[in-house]
Amino acid sequence: MARAHHRRLVAFAALLVLADAQAQLSKWPIRTGSGEVRLIDLSAAEPVFGSLIPSFGLGGTEDVNLMTDAQGDVLFITAVDSDGKIAVRKLNGELLANGAGLWGNSSSQASAIVPRPCHPGQYFFIHHDAELHRHYYSIIDAYANGGQGAVIEKNRLLLNSVGEGIAVSHQLIGGCRWLYTFRVDEGGYRILRARISATGIDDATVIGTCAPNGAAHWWSTLKVSPANDRLAVSLPGSAPSSAGDIALWDLDPESGELSGLQQLAVSARTVSGIEFSPLGRFLYFVSNGDALNNDFGRVNLVTHAAQIIDPAIGWWIMHIESAANGRLYVGSRGLGTTTIAEVGQPDADAAGDIAYDPGAIAFQGWGIIPSFPNSIEGEPPGTAPAPEHAAFEAVAQPDCQGHRFEPKSCNGTAWLWDFGDGWTSQAQEPVHHYGVGTFSVRLRVTACGQTHELLRPDMITVDGIQPVASFTHPDTVCQRASLNFVNTSELSTAAAWFFGDGGTSSAMDPTYAYPQHGSRTITLVARNGCIMDTARSFITVLPAGVPSFHTNSDPCDERTYFVNTTYGGERFHWEFGDGDSTSSWYHPVHIFQSEGAFDVRLTTDPGDRCENTFVLTLHAGYGIIPVGWYVPNAFSPNADGVNDVLRIKGPEPCESPVMSIHNKWGQLVWEGDAEDGWDGRHGGALAPEGVYAYIMRPRLGDAKHGWVVLVR
């Protein structure tokens, strides 16, 4: 991995197996400094090198990985190609469909190949671009394309601004795994964790930090122990020589959380490469630099005592990795030769018993700096236990909060809980309150398209005084009406009410008004200490309007426009107070025929129990509420001083309308101001008695017409 300041050791991470299954796969791709990729078989007593794997080109000296099937046959190999990007090929060099152009570069070191849960034959391939400091992942289907394999999804961006260290946990109980990596910032290292599930790789969260005594580096190595209970990060920038070289945490395998950070000082030189021994008793390390006298050693994880195994293993040492044969391998180099060193008994108590051979595998002429595969799956194919999709735990909550039930299937898509006391739940992690007794719990979970079921007999036992919850209430209630609940529970000392719309109460006999109509489920939890009983009932909340209105009229328009501002309600009944008429319109229009005070009543939902009435007194004819025009039906222009002129009176103050008078043949007899009126003459002469038609055109509103009788 060339850099302007010399070649540095980069991080790679092993995806480790259970302790009793030893370590990695039995076959590795080996990449040399000249870019060649060859296969090494570690299943025999002595490692066996295969021939050159064609077609990869000389794109880099790092980033090799592979996956085998359960029989150890190679499914595919990944490596940086001559274009500086990663290619996915078969053992014979044939490119998998869509297998070119995965993001990486000649300096990318870390990668991981992880089985995709619920998808046999598919693998998540997590790869890194060391120049952009990004993780990507692609999905490889080893049996797609007619059994030839294909990359079915490519270059999904996973994380920005991350270092090269990648580690993947063993399979969890529910079938998922954890991905671990890190970021570098001014404060040091931020350890990240993301869940690997059937659907993909989740967003990462920070689970720990480490501030080394010196600079933090992008190329630090990150490893998970074989027992999945520790996580380690190398600190190559630590100074002085007495400073910590390795950060070590305790790791909870199910939650993926870190605790108990320790910084171990193991070497006077810069430590970059680390690897746990197969049984997890020791952490092996190698220093890195351009001198021959780099340290190779190990630290006891109980005593923290460090042992230097080889003080001059070579220069620019790249990797330490455990193999499926139970041995540990590390790249080494002397003058004019390149070798792979072997530790035959890496968990031996004494350093002299580890069967260390610095030149166990030599391959002169193949270049320098052998690169081992990075993080492969947590268990060799076929060795991971079947996920316990229906596994679950119950955790008693503090402060009388009941029991929380936690399923262990991270691939679950549906859950059905039977708590053994008549109650069920479809929540993923329900909380349930039990009464007194012993209860068996059953979980039915759908995961990976299949239904799994687990019954745990007599799982929960609760002792104490058992209250009996009960209460009464009407079957229906009007919206916003106060409702009294009567608590008829026995042996209870406290109550918790849940009214079904978000409202709650801790009163023994609460009063509640439902703000919205609809069907509601009422729940009462009666409690005696931490012992509870639950009663539920249903109520129908009927719609109930809050009637209100205002008017919108011009005083010169005889019509009054009513604007309904009722909140809620479904039916409406208007009474205008003048005995003239009623209406069921939402926004009615009415004409008051005379001046006076009128009580207008708006009733919502008339005739049922949620009827409600609003009354507003309106004063018609006083400048705000208009009255209808007054038109007499007869007049007598006989000069007796009584009703001699036909006048039409309208609201005050308004300009007088124009009125025209017509005889029975429709001929115009008179036209003028309606307030001045017609004096019963036509053309200067007295008009004859009879019935005449009038037409009046007010300033606002429609023209009005009618009949008037002229009597002499």
Q: Within 10 Å of residue 586's Cβ, how many Cβ atoms?
A: 13
The DSSP bridge partners found for residue 471 are 487
pLDDT tens-place string over residues 620-650: 877 678 887 777 888 899 888 899 898 877 6
Delimiting residues of CATH 2.60.40.10 domain(s) in the chain? 392-455, 471-540, 549-620
What the block records as the tokens of 44 is: 């025999």
Is the domain 634-710 a CATH 3.40.50 member? no
Delimiting residues of CATH 2.130.10.10 domain(s) in the chain? 19-362
Q: Residue 482: its pLDDT value, please?
A: 94
Q: Residue 7: its pLDDT value, please?
A: 25
Residue with structure tokens 């180099």?
333
The CATH superfamily label for domain 471-540 reads Immunoglobulins (2.60.40.10)
pLDDT tens-place string over residues 271-308: 989 999 999 999 999 988 777 888 999 999 999 999 99
Whether the pTM exceeds 0.85: the reply is: no
Q: Residue 457: its pLDDT value, please?
A: 98
Cis peptide bond prior to 474, omega within 30° of 0:
no
Of the pLDDT bands very low, low, confident and very high (cuts 50, 70, 90), residue 396 is: very high
Distance CA 237, CA 243 (A): 10
Distance CA 230, CA 434 (A): 37
pLDDT tens-place string over residues 251-272: 998 888 999 999 999 998 889 8
Of the pLDDT bands very low, low, confident and very high (cuts 50, 70, 90), residue 18 is: very low
User: Hey, what CATH class is 549-620 in?
Assistant: mainly beta
pLDDT tens-place string over residues 77-120: 999 888 889 999 999 999 999 999 999 987 777 789 999 999 98
CATH code, residues 19-362: 2.130.10.10
Query: DSSP 3-state helix, strand, coil percentages of the chain (rounded to 5)?
Result: 0, 45, 50
Q: Residue 207: its pLDDT value, please?
A: 96
pLDDT > 50? residue 472: yes
pLDDT tens-place string over residues 136-194: 999 999 999 999 999 999 999 999 999 999 999 988 889 999 999 999 987 799 999 99
Q: Residue 364: its pLDDT value, please?
A: 54
Distance CA 101, CA 86 (A): 6
The CATH superfamily label for domain 392-455 reads Immunoglobulins (2.60.40.10)
* Neighbouring residues of 683: CB distance < 8 A, sequence distance ≥ 6: none
pLDDT > 90? residue 11: no
Pairing of strands 559-564, 589-591: antiparallel
More confident residue, 651 or 58: 58
User: Sheet holding 271-276: strands in order across?
Assistant: 271-276, 282-287, 296-300, 306-310
Q: Residue 334: its pLDDT value, please?
A: 60
* Neighbouring residues of 512: CB distance < 8 A, sequence distance ≥ 6: 482, 483, 485, 497, 499, 503, 505
Average pLDDT over residues 299-321: 90
